[in-house]
Structure 1
Amino acid sequence: MQPTDTQRADLKETVRLEEVRRLYGKGDRAVRALGGVTAGFRAGTLTAIMGPSGSGKSTLLHCAAGLDRPTGGTVVIDGTDLGSLSEHGLTLLRRERVGFVFQAFNLVSALTAEQNVALPLRLAGRAAPSELVRAALAEVGLADRAGHRPSGLSGGEQQRVAIARALITRPAVVFADEPTGQLDTRASRQILGMLRALVDDHGQTMIMVTHDPVTASYADRVVFLADGVVVDEYAGTVTAELVAARMAALETAS
């Protein structure tokens, strides 16, 4: 039986990595950060990337997002092979089709929340209508904080601004690097619930690096790295206890 159009859409991969390798240095001093990673990330899903310190999590995210060029293999985002792009082409792709959420928020301190959210559009030379920007802030529960600078916002509120900024260009994929790493438990749960809702309600594709089993439990799928290669993955019902046990085993073996 042939899959329906809906099933085909469900199976579409927004990001695809094939035998991605990344070496730092040359010759005998070369260090392998990634040793041939093949993985696909389906549209409208949240994937958590986990592994012991030095396993290659951040390198994988940087290569997958076009922030770093792999030594070998291919990375495809939304149908575009990143290896075929010049540095300028990569910059344009990141501006137009990739969103980023970082642990440190990375907001511009001199700009208001509204101005921070509008920044990706302005950098891309596009119009940033106030109503569009304010709608993005309203979507993350900050309609009344548009005029506040980062210093006047809590950590959780700053991360919400960062999420609105990441989504303002309607990206094909959002990469999140330890998005709750600087937040307390309550703020972390709010942010994770918001990310989950963006996936479930808006079909946003997200790839998230985390070391926290509770954070990973919000994902549809958890991919485990060790020594620069994929060693395991869980999908479906993912619990913090299950993830913690697998991480403990990996850390013991490393």
Structure 2
Amino acid sequence: MTVTERPAHATEAVQLRQVSRVYGTGDRAVTALDAVTLGFRSGTGTAVMGPSGSGKSTLLHCAAGLDRPTGGKVVVAGTDLGPLTETARTRLRRAAIGFVFQSFNLMPALTAEQNVALPLLLAGAKPPRDAVRAALAEVGLADRARHRPSELSGGQQQRVAIARALITRPAVVFADEPTGALDTGSSREVLGLLRRLIDQHGLTVVMVTHDPVAAAYADRVVFLADGRVADELTAAGGPPAAAEIATRMARLESAC
């Protein structure tokens, strides 16, 4: 079994039940999420889209345990995040959640293999070199293990970030605009890699994106508006089409 493989489950890796997030109080209160109920099934890819201010980033932060909701429940890998202390939440994130960011967030002084090993080191574990090399091989960078980020292209840096997200064999990977800083060719490589990891290794991916082409690599697209689930698209027989996704987005934006 490679570092990216997980057993196939028909369960939900992440559950949000009536999750709300309000910032501020009184007249200045802003509702970023309004009683959102969603489930993200293991071994699938979900794209989250919506107009600016629709609550996409807040949903990701609450689902990943980076922010505490004002109300409702978030369950990750069978664990209710609500009762956990900050220390326990941090431990769960390190063990069960992977992150991929638009800006890669690699440590510039570390090599690719050292960046991949970092989550295990932070968790107090000794990174097995074979596992680190296997993760890099999985993303097509076995020959770049000793290269630092400055010696890699943007697409290669993002693939290192994906390998880093996979090294702990997480229950879910949250990707925040993972292709936002990449050119078209590199974007397609990264999206194709994520799709392959979903299909072949049962990876669970929740991706926030504004790009209909990127969203078309997912199994399902969830559209948010004003902090609520406004629409959902799942195409039978394969991922939704980019044209249909763009049409749904245009409809939402015109209504705002």
Interval containing the TM-score (normalised by the shorter chain)? over 0.9
Letter in 2 for 1:246: R
Match of 1:187 in 2: 186
Letter in 2 for 1:13: E
Q: Distance in 2 between matches of 1:64 and 1:95?
A: 14
Secondary structure of the structure 2 residue equivalent to 1:84: coil
Match of 1:108 in 2: 107
Q: Distance in 1 between matches of 2:209 and 2:199?
A: 20
Match of 1:246 in 2: 248
Superposed CA RMSD: 0.8
Instruction: Return the offset for 1:84.
Output: 1.4
Instruction: Return the offset for 1:11.
Output: 3.2
Match of 2:22 in 1: 23
Q: Distance in 2 between matches of 1:49 and 1:210?
A: 6
Q: Distance in 1 between matches of 2:108 and 2:251?
A: 41
Instruction: Return the offset for 1:133.
Output: 0.5
Query: Runs in 1 of length 4+ with deviation above 4 angstroms?
Result: none
Instruction: Return the offset for 1:83.
Output: 0.1
Match of 2:34 in 1: 35
Instruction: Report which stretch shifted further, 66-75 or 124-133.
Output: 124-133
Match of 1:11 in 2: 10
Q: Distance in 2 between matches of 1:11 and 1:26?
A: 40
Match of 2:117 in 1: 118
Compare the two structures and name the one with the higher helix fraction. Answer: 1
Q: Distance in 1 between matches of 2:177 and 2:159?
A: 14
Match of 1:95 in 2: 94
How is 1:14-163 mapped onto 2 (pairs within 5 angstroms)?
Answer: 14-163=13-162
Shift of the 16–113 alpha-carbon distance from structure 1 to 2, 3 Å rule, reads same
Letter in 2 for 1:82: L
CA displacement, residues 33-65 of structure 1 (integer Å, 9 cap, x when unaligned): 001100011010000000000000000000000
Match of 1:5 in 2: none
Secondary structure of the structure 1 residue equivalent to 2:69: coil
Instruction: Return the offset for 1:129.
Output: 1.5
Match of 1:6 in 2: none
Secondary structure of the structure 1 residue equivalent to 2:231: strand
Normalised by the length of structure 1, the TM-score is 0.96
CA displacement, residues 190-213 of structure 1 (integer Å, 9 cap, x when unaligned): 000000011000001110000000
Instruction: Return the offset for 1:10.
Output: 4.9
CA displacement, residues 156-208 of structure 1 (integer Å, 9 cap, x when unaligned): 00000000000000000000000000001100000000000110000011100
Residue segments in structure 2 that go unaligned for 5+ positions in a row: 1-7
Q: Distance in 2 between matches of 1:40 and 1:213?
A: 21
Q: Distance in 2 between matches of 1:211 and 1:147?
A: 33
Identical-pair percentage: 71
Letter in 2 for 1:24: Y
Secondary structure of the structure 1 residue equivalent to 2:15: strand
Secondary structure of the structure 1 residue equivalent to 2:65: coil
Q: Distance in 2 between matches of 1:41 and 1:132?
A: 27
CA displacement, residues 88-147 of structure 1 (integer Å, 9 cap, x when unaligned): 000000000000000000000010001000000000001101111111101100011011
Q: Distance in 1 between matches of 2:108 and 2:219?
A: 34
Q: Distance in 1 between matches of 2:30 and 2:129?
A: 47
